[in-house]
């Protein structure tokens, strides 16, 4: 680790992905500072070995070599960095790894504003879910300067099994993630539709799940999310409303490129319907609840 790289990092957003990433950084020997509004999450990370935790990163901004943002959307990224004054309090050349799922345009606007404070940005969305975040095996799809990649190498090594360098242009990483979310959303929606049809046909859902996960129709999203349906457990690791947001980003990207996306449009309608029905804060597999006339495990009639 040379002087150009990172020894201390603040992980901002200690949800299912952020907590795993923060713990991975602790295990890698980095000085980790945790930031979240949830006191339970802060206490959990503190007990795991974080140097310091707080609701406001400004309390230790001058100690940081890097910031990893794992919040929900661009509005939260901008609020954390600029509305709170954090960007102005970070040391010059601090590397900011923006790992929220945001539009390419938002990524470019954030980088332009960070440059005003002499800060370095890596446009670095992540994937892999809570389990891979916990083990330091996320997939990172990143774009940015060679300096940004070099400065953040210890963080990337700690948190990711695969790091894809999409190019130097900020926004490319965001676009790759948006395309990935097209697939993820469609796969969940298709899985929910298939399991709903099985329920309608009175096929036991655990049997249907077992067949699909051992046959050619399986996908990672089916195997992971439809297990929640079989178990009747809609405790969120990723919420319905996350896919309302992400599939709207997909739609906006397609509109800008004048490109038709019939399958992702159908999936967006399904997730929007689920949110409108009151399931927005439940696990994204709860999109299956939009289908009427079926009995689901753990769901009251």
Catalytic residues: 177
Q: How far apart are CA 31 and CA 87, in angstroms?
A: 20
Residues pairing with 160 in the sheet: 138
Q: How far apart are CA 29 and CA 26, in angstroms?
A: 5
Burial of 62 (0-12, 13-18, 19+ CB in 10 A): exposed
Q: Given phi > 0 = left and psi -120 to 50 = alpha, else beta, which region is 126?
A: beta
Encode 118-128: b = buried (16+ Cβ within 10 Å), e = exposed: ebbbbbbbbbb
Query: What is the DSSP annotation of 223-278?
Result: HHHHHHHHHT----SSBHHHHHHHHHHHHHHHHHHT---HHHHHHHHHHHHHIIII
């Amino acid at each position: 680790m040379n002087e150009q790289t990172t020894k201390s990092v603040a992980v901002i957003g200690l949800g299912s992905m952020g907590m795993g990433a923060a713990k991975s950084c602790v295990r890698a020997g980095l000085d980790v500072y945790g930031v979240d509004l949830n006191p339970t999450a802060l206490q959990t990370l503190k007990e795991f070995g974080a140097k310091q935790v707080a609701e406001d990163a400004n309390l230790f901004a001058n100690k940081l070599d890097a910031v990893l943002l794992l919040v929900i959307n661009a509005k939260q990224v901008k609020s954390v960095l600029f509305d709170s004054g954090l960007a102005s309090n970070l040391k010059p050349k601090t590397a900011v790894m923006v790992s929220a799922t945001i539009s390419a345009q938002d990524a470019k606007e954030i980088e332009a504003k960070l440059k005003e404070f002499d800060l370095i940005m890596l446009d670095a969305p992540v994937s892999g879910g809570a389990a891979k975040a916990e083990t330091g095996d996320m997939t990172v799809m990143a774009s940015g300067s060679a300096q940004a990649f070099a400065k953040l190498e210890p963080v990337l090594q700690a948190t990711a099994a695969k790091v894809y360098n999409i190019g130097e242009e900020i926004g490319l990483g965001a676009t790759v993630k948006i395309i990935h979310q097209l697939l993820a959303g469609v796969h969940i929606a298709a899985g929910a539709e298939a399991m709903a049809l099985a329920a309608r046909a009175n096929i036991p859902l655990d049997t249907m799940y077992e067949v699909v996960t051992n046959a050619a129709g399986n996908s990672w999203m089916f195997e992971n999310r439809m297990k929640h349906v079989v178990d009747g457990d809609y405790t969120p690791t990723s919420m319905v409303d996350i896919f309302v947001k992400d599939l709207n980003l997909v739609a906006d990207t397609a509109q800008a490129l004048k490109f038709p996306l019939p399958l992702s449009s159908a999936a967006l309608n399904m997730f929007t319907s689920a949110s409108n029905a009151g399931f927005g804060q439940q696990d994204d597999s709860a999109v299956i609840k939009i289908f009427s006339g079926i009995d689901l495990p753990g769901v009251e009639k």
